[in-house]
Amino acid sequence: MPCAREGRAGLYLTLWKRLRVLDHDEREEHLEALAAWAGLDRLPRQSHRPLRSDEVVELGRGRMSIGAHTQTHPVLSALPAERQAEEIGDSKAALEALLGRPVQAFSYPYGALGPGTAEAVRRAGFAYACATGAGAVRRAADPYLLPRVVVEDWDGATFARRLAMPG
C-alpha cells in the first residue's frame, strides 16, 4: 500500500483515510489489531486525551458554548440517513443529560455532509452547526453550514491579526 508521503506521516495519513470511513465497531477492531501488532496500548497520551465528563461539565459552567459532535465520530456522509440521525440525536441527548441544559450547537465530524445531513441536524433540534469551510460568518450564512476560522499554532498577535482579516 503506497503512502501519500514518506515514512510515518505518510503511513498515518493512509491509515487515517481508510479507517475514518469505517463503521465504529469495525474501526475499533482494526485499531485494536494495529495496537496489538505494534505492541502498544490504546491509552492516549495525557496531552492528547479526550475531555473527561467532569471537565465538560466544568467548561459548561462558564460562558463557553458547548456543542455536540456525534457519538462515535463517523464520517456522516458515509452513513445511511437513519444512522446519521441516530449519531446526531444521540450525541445531543447525551450532552444535554451531562450538562443539564439544552445544547444548541453541532459540529460535523471531518466537515463531511451528505444530502440530508444538515436537515438531520436541524430536525434534531440544534440551532446551528459548523462545517469546515474556512471563513467568517456572514449575515446571510446558512445556520447549519457555518464556516470556521481555522486556528493554527500561532502567537497571540498572529491570532488577533487573522481574526481581523476579511473572510
pTM beyond cutoff 0.85? no
For residue 130, list its beta bridge partners: 107, 146
Place of cell 440521525: 85
Alpha-carbon torsion angle 31, 37, 38, 41, nearest 10: 60
Confirm if 143 and 129 have CB atoms less than 8 A apart.
yes
Render pLDDT for 52-103 as a digit per residue (tens, 0 to 9): 999 999 999 988 789 999 999 999 999 999 999 999 999 999 999 999 999 9
pLDDT reading at 20 higher than 90: no
Place of cell 456572514: 138
Question: What is the rounded distance in angstroms from the CA atom of residue 128 to the CA atom of residue 39?
Answer: 43
Q: What is the pLDDT of residue 167?
A: 54
Q: What is the CATH number of domain 50-164?
A: 3.20.20.370
For residue 107, list its beta bridge partners: 130
Task: Write the Ramachandran bin of 23: left for phi over 0, alpha for psi from -120 to 50, otherwise beta.
Answer: beta
Question: What is the rounded distance in angstroms from the CA atom of residue 26 to the CA atom of residue 38?
Answer: 18
pLDDT band at 24 (very low <50, low <70, confident <90, very high): confident
Render pLDDT for 119-165 as a digit per residue (tens, 0 to 9): 999 999 999 999 888 777 888 999 999 988 777 888 999 988 877 77
CATH 3.20.20.370 positions along the chain are 50-164
pLDDT reading at 112 higher than 80: yes
Question: What is the rounded distance in angstroms from the CA atom of residue 117 to the CA atom of residue 65?
Answer: 22
Q: What is the pLDDT of residue 2?
A: 53
pLDDT band at 48 (very low <50, low <70, confident <90, very high): confident
